[in-house]
Amino acid sequence: MEQGLKLGIIGFGRIVELVHLPIIKKLEQITHYGVYDMTPERVELANRRSIAVYASIDELLASDVDIVLIATPPSSHYELARAALTAGKHVLIEKPVTVTFSEAEGLRRLAQQTGKAVSVFHNRRYDADFCFVKEAIAAGMVGNVLFVERRHHMFGSGANFGVKSFDPQWRNKRQYGGGALLDWGVHLIDQLLQLNLGRMDSIHSSVQTLNWNQGEVDDYVHALMRLDNGILYHMEINFASNATVPFWVIGGDQGTLQVMNDKEAVLLAKGAQPRPFTLEQNKLTAAKEIYESFIQHIQGGGPLSVNMDEVTAVMEVIDRIHSGAPEYASAT
């Protein structure tokens, strides 16, 4: 029987409380977990819930934990992950892995040098709409794919999701790595790359901060990406929209698939009646596979569900979107 693993969590925010802990509690291989958080209110909450608490990051890294989960604002990910790897820990990071491609590449090299595993919690790979899109393309539902459109609209940045005892507006601040591209863009780009339809060739983009007093970071992103085989990807994120827009539109030479949300889709083919689909819902803990593969990799060397080659590719696209949007780059 494999020896149990100990997990140290840096950042006890709501994403840990509501998403990670329900998964962690289901993993029998993790026999201990504890948290570090800089806010007294979150430390008090951990104590009330009988969760072990570390007094400092240094104490956590000097302990006998095997794995460090980093769930802090994105701008801190690189330094914390670097410190954890240097301390001999395996590292799991909330998305995005870092805020730049160069930082992600640096972590990838350091992981190779230290022989420790690094993975990223790209949980949107397990969303019902994305799983359906992958299956539909693989089944040839639209024929040869010509274009893929991926949209995410919401009203506001979701800053109210953050804990009030830290900085409830951190998602709207550049110093923390806030903004639509790093928050939701990483999910959408990861999904598009995971379709494996071709190699990214060219990117034309616009990254905008709308004039509505919602912080200094981007809240509208548009990118048109062309693959080496001519397939077009269109990505749009709008943090100022209450509109109901389709999550996905996939066009092929035999039809068009419109995925309205994570519950329903319709296939539109010339000369045929619309064909509706009800999507199979995934549980909140569907991303448990990320943890399971991470543990198996540590204990037996199996493949990671999310590896550093994949996440650095995502960050390279994000850098290219930023560099292709001079109206944003000039303001940084």
The domain locations on the chain are: 5-123+285-306, 128-281
- Phi, psi for 247 (deg, rounded to 5): -60, -45
* pLDDT higher than threshold 50 for residue 329: no
* pLDDT higher than threshold 60 for residue 330: no
Q: What is the pTM for the complete model shown?
A: 0.94
* pLDDT higher than threshold 60 for residue 328: no
Could you tell me if 81 and 93 are in contact, meaning their C-beta atoms sit under 8 angstroms apart?
yes
By DSSP bridging, strand 232-238 and strand 248-252 are unpaired
Mean pLDDT score across all residues of the chain: 93
DSSP track, 258-313: EE-SSSEEEEE-TTS--EEEEPPPPPGGGGHHHHHHHHHHHHH-PPPSS-HHHHHH
**pLDDT per residue as tens digits for the range 62-98:** 999 999 999 999 999 999 999 999 999 999 999 999 9
DSSP track, 222-250: EEEEEETTS-EEEEEEETB------SEEE
CA distances 121 to 20, 157, 165, 254, 311, Å, are 9, 20, 24, 35, 10
Alpha-carbon gap, residue 107 to 141, rounded angstroms: 39
The CATH number assigned to the domain with range 128-281 reads 3.30.360.10
For residue 181, the cross-strand partners are none
The CATH number of domain 5-123+285-306, selected from 3.40.50.2300, 3.40.50.720, 1.10.10.10, 3.90.180.10: 3.40.50.720
Percent of the chain with pLDDT strictly greater than 90: 86
